[in-house]
Amino acid sequence: MEIIMSILAGVLFTTGVYNLLQKQMLRIIIGTALISHGAHLFILTMGELKTGAPPILEDNIELYTDPLPQALILTSIVISFGVTSLLLVLAYRASKENGTDNMEKLRGNEND
Amino acid sequence: MISNLAALPIVIPLIVGVLAALFHKKLKLVRVYAQVLTLINTGVVAYILFYVHQNGSVVLESGDWMAPFGIVLVADMLSMTLVLTTNIVAIACIFYAPKSLSQKQEEFYFYTFYFLLISGVSGAFITGDLFNLFVFFEVLLMASYGLIVLGGEKVQLRESMKYVLINLFSSMLFVTTIAFLYSVVGTVNMAQIAERVGEVEQTGILTTIGILLFFVFGTKAALFPLYYWLPKPYIAPNPVISALFGALLTKVGIYSLLRVFSLIFVHERDVTHEFFIWIAALTLIFGSIGALSTNNIKLVVAYNIIPAVGFMLIGIGVYNSTGFSGTVYYLVHDMIIKAALFLLVGAVAYLAGTSDLRKIRGLIHHYPLLGWMFFISAFVLAGIPPFSGFVGKLVLLQGAMEADRIIIAIIGLGSSLLILLSVIRIFIRGFWGEKDESITPNRNAARGFIMPVAFLLFFSVLLGVGAEWFYPSIESIGDYLMNPENYIESILKE
């Protein structure tokens, strides 16, 4: 199960990076979202996947799920959610102000 | 009770910043409020530093969760020295801000973002937990995203897209690296990671994770070849915001490198630390060439961030206590002087009406004091005695010599010359020359710009002239970094 999840995270990373290298702003933002999904899935996988086990450690429980990765993911999801929404607004304003959403045309000149 | 001190440098700016949002339109009030509370915060930080100096590290186990399980905040000499420097830079910026920012920029939450930035930077310095370090990175980056677009001009929006994207990508890489590390050592507490990595003698997979972490922090700290994103976004916002960025953000990256590669990944130095030396050399060369490549005075200073980071990496790469002391000294020096330089070129660009060096001449006739202050800061930056840059570079190069790294020392000295040339060029062409009659001098504005910069330069000169007083403490930080057992013991208490 862990191997399948790792491959899935890898696929998300590759598609994310592919989209990140595009010229259109919206594609780039979708790329970052995919990468962060890949990263989150990866953290979950790293804590070992177990079905039906409670996330607590008590004396009479032998099988338990590691709660730490879940706490880490939650934090990370919130952060990437915030950054993605910020990016969407930023991209909207940037494309409106500059008259293009093509990153190729947004290269800076030195003296402006 | 006393351990709660460690949280104060994070909590105070956080609360102050949120409260500042409540009356953001009452400019006179919010200015005084921000200035007074920055001073109070600096006082508190100075007291904590004094306390730590007298009594040793203060460790806060947040929520009373015992050390390896909960998040720990560690106020040791290194982190508190850097937090104090952060606050000194913050004081200069907060007094400079009303002169430099437009009314609209000030009204739209500059002060809130500013305090959140300080809180995030202090948090990143103080935390003793790798995942928490990521969170504080995000706090300071979020604040910086707000600051970089403040004003919403065309160029700002254009550059901020790139800035946000590169930082978002490296943050995601950071999270992935933490996941890797967690799966191998089963903890995110830095002290416990260090202990466990030591137990398994740092196998190949851990070295790989270490290098991955180096790339994450290298992106944030703007090391070769990951610095390409830095110069242009840094000059897009208002000078006071550039100063905060230039002084603080890359330094958090280099601090993280210092912490991680003096504490955790220290067992395979032939791979990691050897690699750093080469990266440092390339960073020095390309950064100083970059600084010479442009006529935009703001861009010259922004490019100068890069060789400074290269210098600090030398100290980490040579791995001896002299090298670490040099890195810490240079870190403190560079935070102060980068802020001063950004504020100075901001003032020059404002008074001359352009940041194109070809169009500026003879400013010294109108603003003599500004000119000489620029001259001094150029010398501080290049490392001419008796200023602080000299001491920092001397100690760093001494560390390099102790480790028999002659080539890197030569490259360091050579790039210092290029740095001097790049900055003094602004002085020669912008300040000397015939009087520009078309400018009507605005002495009132100039005075407002000069005071905060003079405040920073005072510390720079003090650090250089008074090196005898400060160096013993910095040297003890170097020894402390060489012996990570002390850090681990102070947290895990075994």
Q: Which of A38, A94, A110 sits opposite B296 (nearest CB)?
A: A110
> CB of A21 within 8 Å of any CB in chain B?
no
Strand partners, B129: B189
| ipTM computed for the complex | 0.93
Q: Name the region of B446 (left: φ>0; alpha: ψ -120 to 50; beta: rest).
A: alpha
Per-residue model confidence as pLDDT tens digits over B29-63: 999 999 999 999 999 999 999 999 999 899 998 88
CB contact under 8 A, A69 and B179: yes
Per-residue model confidence as pLDDT tens digits over B417-448: 999 999 999 999 888 888 777 777 788 888 88
* Alpha-carbon Rg for chain B in angstroms: 21
Residue in B382, B264, B255 with CA at minimum distance from that of residue B331: B255
CB contact under 8 A, B159 and A20: no
What chain B residue is nearest to A92 in terms of C-alpha separation? B157
How many Cβ contacts (< 8 angstroms) between chains A and B? 101
Q: How far is A110 from chain B (nearest CA, A)?
A: 7
CB contact under 8 A, B142 and A32: no
CB contact under 8 A, B138 and A79: yes
Dist. CA A96–CA B294, nearest whole Å: 29
CB contact under 8 A, B172 and A94: no
CB contact under 8 A, A90 and B157: yes
Q: Is the pLDDT of residue A112 over 60?
A: no
So what's the pLDDT on residue A109?
A: 59
Dist. CA B128–CA B171, nearest whole Å: 18
Dist. CA B383–CA B380, nearest whole Å: 5
Burial class (CB in 10 A: 0-12, 13-18, 19+), B88: buried
Helices (H), A1-112: 2-20, 25-46, 67-98
So what's the pLDDT on residue A110?
A: 47
Helices (H), B149-186: 154-185
Which of A19, A72, A85, A105 should one mutate to test binding to chain B, selecting the residue with the greatest count of B CBs within 10 A? A72
Q: How far is B376 from chain A (nearest CA, A)?
A: 27
Dist. CA B13–CA B32, nearest whole Å: 15
**Kind and range of the H or E element at B61?**
strand B58-61
Per-residue model confidence as pLDDT tens digits over B222-271: 998 889 889 889 999 999 999 999 999 999 999 999 999 999 998 888 88
CB contact under 8 A, A80 and B180: no
Contacts of B176 in chain A (CB under 8 A): 38-39, 42-43
So what's the pLDDT on residue B494?
A: 59
> CB of A108 within 8 Å of any CB in chain B?
yes
Dist. CA B104–CA B472, nearest whole Å: 46
CB neighbour list of residue A94: distance below 8 Å, 6 or more residues apart:
A25, A101, A106, B157, B158, B160, B161
When pLDDT is averaged across residues B379-388 and rounded to a whole number, the result is 88
Q: Report CA dihedral (B133, A69, B18, B117) to the nearest 10 degrees.
A: 20
CB contact under 8 A, B295 and A110: yes
Q: How far is A80 from chain B (nearest CA, A)?
A: 8
CB neighbour list of residue B268: distance below 8 Å, 6 or more residues apart:
B202, B207, B210
More confident: B5 or A52? B5
Contacts of B172 in chain A (CB under 8 A): 32, 35-36, 38-39, 80
Per-residue model confidence as pLDDT tens digits over B116-148: 999 999 999 999 999 999 999 999 999 999 999
Kindly report the backbone phi and psi dihedral angles of residue B117, in degrees, each rounded to the nearest multiple of 5, phi listed first.
-60, -45
Which of A65, A74, A97 should one mutate to test binding to chain B, selecting the residue with the greatest count of B CBs within 10 A? A97
Q: How far is B421 from chain A (nearest CA, A)?
A: 20
CB contact under 8 A, B165 and A87: yes
Q: How far is A99 from chain B (nearest CA, A)?
A: 10
So what's the pLDDT on residue A60?
A: 77
Q: Is the pLDDT of residue A4 over 60?
A: yes
Q: How far is B180 from chain A (nearest CA, A)?
A: 7
Dist. CA B22–CA B85, nearest whole Å: 28
With beta carbons less than 8 A apart as the criterion, state whether B105 and B238 touch. Answer: yes
Q: How far is B146 from chain A (nearest CA, A)?
A: 9
> CB of A46 within 8 Å of any CB in chain B?
yes
Q: Which of A32, A40, A45 sits opposite B169 (nearest CB)?
A: A32
Q: Report CA dihedral (B373, B375, B381, B382) to the nearest 10 degrees.
A: -160
More confident: B239 or A105? B239
So what's the pLDDT on residue B190?
A: 93
CB contact under 8 A, A83 and B299: no
Per-residue model confidence as pLDDT tens digits over B157-190: 888 988 999 999 999 999 999 999 999 998 999 9
Which of A93, A105, A110 should one mutate to test binding to chain B, selecting the residue with the greatest count of B CBs within 10 A? A110
With beta carbons less than 8 A apart as the criterion, state whether B445 and B350 touch. Answer: yes
Domains and CATH numbers, chain A: 2-102 (1.10.287)
Per-residue model confidence as pLDDT tens digits over B62-112: 888 887 888 999 999 999 999 999 999 999 999 999 988 988 888 889 999
Among A residues 60-89, those touching chain B with beta carbons less than 8 Å apart: 68-69, 72, 75-76, 79-80, 82-83, 86-87
